A and B are shown apart, each in its own frame.
Chain A
């Protein structure tokens, strides 16, 4: 049993600031972190491995410093780590990324299941799982929790909208792990020290992955941000409770949010 978990390095969205012009993000104070949803995908995969054996391999696409999320994954218990990294990925859109990851998964070989976070906390595209399933022609189970593996089948509870459906599929399969599926473990201190001292990450570039020029060509172009205007401060009401209630009712009626007359 081999599970590959895709993990992504991103700027901590909690520490990103929107510029005054609302046209760009100031990331100077933001730290690079592992996508929190990918931590949960990894935790779920480690959990499955503990139940049925096998190995967990982590895979990322990014700049050389993205090895950080792979080394942290090794500290948490992953068995092997691969980084797809190439200057030619610098403009990669979701399509190019999916081509590269699919090529890496084929090259790793003998993969039974692919786990990803439900979506990435920065772009929140949530399309990588579906794209990879389509490219690999594997079945796709979205937003899964309580993942079990038995007799060549994978099952779990799929949380979409307001329903949870129990799904079962033959392997191989692509799974995105529900963003509240589990609480990722802390790695052991010695595992952290060893993972970062040893630095066992295998790096593949686009040639290692036999990617064609077509696969490397992005289909979408990033033109810039246009962020929603900041919310303005509301109106503050003063006076006694009765006065404030009357004012509030009048305001709501003025905006046609309440029926009747003042």
Chain B
């Protein structure tokens, strides 16, 4: 067993950490307050390859694999959850769906500019009455000559207002249900996909989330992603990697909370000495650190499993479940240790507290993650769970 990172990964982390500290962190507060994406940060990230980290260099990526991608998300998760969300949705579900199931021609046409950061990606699954329950999708795709006409609407789409390339799931045969009846497509904003309501959010306000409206949007048949009728599989595979790297971003948030708590406990005095000397504080900090280490082990072992080509659906669900809980819990504890200072908008813990909550919800709620984990566990003993 070897738990050390290869040297190039350590140095890639150094790059991302310095970029995070110098470029991302100083912009985080204003992006949250203005409730808009700081596109200058995204452009600077693109310029050094950070919008294509896991993809091979022949597709314009960094070639840092799943481990490098987790490193990116962990470091961004420390400094700005919104930026992690924008880049995570772009790489981890938008571009990733094309990388996983796209043809060579689709990869050249779409993955390369996405990986280079010349275009921004998004992933459109959720609808008003369907999300994890993909069989209930209402958006329809009807064949029309050498194209499909899409009608319907998608909601809560991260990067919706900004994305150029959007992977979208639609029903092609209503008689067949989720397996056989839904197809994934590569859409372009310029095909006529309209931006509907832009969400006003509690957290991750420095990312953009919106409705996307399809009214007779014509998508060429060559943009079908994966086999016709099997789009659900493409989307679920994509979400597996998304859940792992979301876990990595929550690891960053959980670590940042720990760092802030320790820094504060060292200097804040009560009853004549720093509160680091109080056991009530020590116990919270010890729990935070133990949970961070458990999460780190799970995240990077799962990344390793992906790179080995092993199945990792169960572990990805665990990364997302454990990660979102750990981040929320640690930030809650850090806020308690900081007291009123933690509650103040002048200090980043308040923003972190709001930002962390979404990780328990998006990319499949934690309840869905438990179903994913349980169904894998029962599958291992020969029982098929139906949601």
Q: A-side interface residues toward B, CB under 8 Å?
A: 68, 71-72, 75, 186-190, 192-197
Q: Which of A75, A187, A193, A195 contacts B64 (CB 8 A)?
A: A193
Mark out the residues of chain B between 35 and 73 whose CB falls within 8 Å of any chain A CB in the assembled complex.
47-50, 53, 57, 61-64, 68
A71 to B57 CA separation, bound complex (whole angstroms): 19
Interface of A is mostly: helix
Instruction: List residues of chain B with CB within 8 A of the CB of A186.
Output: 15, 18-19, 48
Asked if B7 and A189 make an inter-chain contact with CB atoms under 8 angstroms apart, the answer reads no
Closest 10 CB pairs of A and B: A196-B8, A189-B49, A189-B62, A190-B62, A186-B48, A188-B49, A193-B8, A188-B48, A196-B7, A196-B11
Q: Shortest CB–CB separation between residue B23 and chain A, in angstroms?
A: 8
Which residues does chain A contribute within 8 Å of B312, judged by CB atoms?
Answer: none
Q: A189-B16, A189-B64 are in contact. List 13 more A-B contacts (CB 8 A).
A: A68-B11, A72-B11, A186-B48, A187-B48, A189-B12, A189-B49, A190-B49, A190-B57, A190-B61, A192-B8, A192-B12, A193-B12, A196-B8
Dominant secondary structure at the B interface: helix
A195 to B62 CA separation, bound complex (whole angstroms): 12
Please name 18 pairs of A and B residues whose Cβ atoms are closer than 8 Å in the assembled complex, sorted by A.
A71-B11, A75-B11, A186-B19, A187-B15, A188-B47, A189-B50, A189-B53, A189-B68, A190-B57, A192-B8, A192-B12, A192-B15, A193-B68, A194-B57, A195-B8, A196-B7, A196-B11, A197-B8
Complex formed: what's the CA distance from A192 to B15 in Å?
8
Query: What CA separation (Å) do A190 and B61 show in the bound complex?
Result: 7
CA distance in complex: A71, B61 (Å): 20
B68 to chain A, nearest CB (A): 7
A196 neighbours in B (Cβ, 8 Å):
7-8, 11
Q: How far is the CB of B14 from chain A (nearest CB, A)?
A: 8
Number of interface residues of B (CB under 8 A): 19
Name the B residues within 8 Å of A188 (CB-CB). 47-49, 62
Residues of A within 8 A of B7 (CB): 196
Report yes or no: A192 in contact with B19, Cβ–Cβ below 8 A.
no
Bound-state CA distance A40–B229 (Å) is 56
Chain A neighbourhood of B18, CB < 8 A: 186
Q: Shortest beta-carbon distance, B111 to chain A, in Å?
A: 15
In the assembled complex, the CB of A192 is this many whole angstroms from the nearest CB of chain B, namely 5
Quick one: which of B11, B19, B50, B63 has the most chain A CB within 10 A? B11
Contact A192 B57 (CB under 8 A): no
- A71-B14 Cα distance, complex, nearest whole Å: 13
Instruction: Give the residues in chain A near B48, CB-CB below 8 Å.
Output: 186-189
Q: Which of B12, B16, B47, B68 has the most CB of A within 10 A?
A: B12
Residues of B within 8 A of A193 (CB): 8, 12, 62-64, 68
Chain B hits for A189, CB < 8 A = 12, 15-16, 48-50, 53, 62, 64, 68
A193 to B68, CA, bound (A): 10
**B224-245 to A contact mask, C-beta < 8 Å, 1/0:** 0000000000000000000000
Expressed in whole angstroms, the Cα–Cα distance for A75 and B14 within the complex equals 13
Tell me the smallest distance from the CB of A182 to a CB of chain B, in Å.
14
Tell me, rounded to whole Å, the shortest Cβ–Cβ distance linking A206 to chain B: 27
Query: Of all chain B residues, which has the CB nearest A187?
Result: B15
Complex Cα spacing A71 to B10, Å: 13
CB-defined contacts of B62 to chain A, threshold 8 Å: 188-190, 193
B56 to A, closest residue via Cβ: A190
A75 to B7 CA separation, bound complex (whole angstroms):
13
- For A187, the chain B residues whose CB sits under 8 A away are 15, 48
Q: With both chains docked as a complex, state the minimum distance between the C-beta of B261 and any C-beta of chain A, in angstroms.
A: 20
Q: How far is the CB of B40 from chain A (nearest CB, A)?
A: 14
Bound-state CA distance A103–B64 (Å) is 38
A192 and B11 contacting across the interface, CB-CB below 8 Å? yes
Q: What CA separation (Å) do A47 and B68 show in the bound complex?
A: 29
Closest to B65 in A: A193
Nearest-neighbor residue (CB-CB) of B115 within chain A: A190
Note all chain B residues with C-beta closer than 8 A to A75: 11
Give the complex CA separation of A196 and B63 in angstroms. 13
Contacts of A71 in B (CB 8 A): 11
**Cβ distance B101 to chain A, nearest Cβ, rounded Å:** 24
**Which of A72, A190, A195 meets B63, CB within 8 Å?**
A190
Residue from A189, A194, A197 having most chain B Cβ neighbours under 10 A = A189
Provide the residues of chain A in CB contact with B57, threshold 8 Å: 190, 194
Task: Determine the chain A residues whose CB is within 8 A of the CB of B64 once the complex forms.
Answer: 189, 193
Q: Which residues of B contact A192 (CB under 8 A)?
A: 8, 11-12, 15
Taken together as a complex, chains A and B put the C-alpha atoms of A185 and B99 apart, in Å, by 30
Q: How far is the CA of A190 from the CA of B68 in the complex (A)?
A: 11
Give A68 to B57 CA distance when docked, in angstroms: 23
| Smallest beta-carbon distance A32→chain B, Å | 11
B150-187, CB < 8 A from A: none
Closest chain B residue, CB of each to CB of A191: B49
Q: Could you say which residues of chain A place their CB within 8 Å of the CB of B61?
A: 190
Closest chain-A Cβ to B26's Cβ sits at a distance in Å of 14
How far is the CB of B57 from the nearest CB of chain A, in Å?
Answer: 5
Residues of A within 8 A of B11 (CB): 68, 71-72, 75, 192, 196
A194 to B58, CA, bound (A): 13
CA distance A168 to B63 in the complex (A): 44
A187 and B11 CA atoms in complex are apart in Å by 11
Within the assembled complex, what's the spacing in Å between the Cα atoms of A187 and B16? 10
Q: How far is the CA of A71 from the CA of B68 in the complex (A)?
A: 18
Tell me the nearest residue of chain A to B10, going by C-beta.
Answer: A196
Contact with A along B1-17 (1 / 0, CB 8 A): 00000011001100110
Min distance, Cβ B263 to any Cβ of chain A, angstroms: 15
Nearest CB of B to A71, in Å = 8
- Please give the distance in Å from B15's CB to the nearest CB on chain A: 5
Contact partners of A190 in chain B: CB under 8 A? 49, 57, 61-63
Residues on B with beta carbons closer than 8 Å to the beta carbon of A72: 11
Report how far A186 CA is from B49 CA in the complex, Å: 11
- Roughly how many angstroms separate A71 CA and B8 CA in the complex, as a whole number? 10
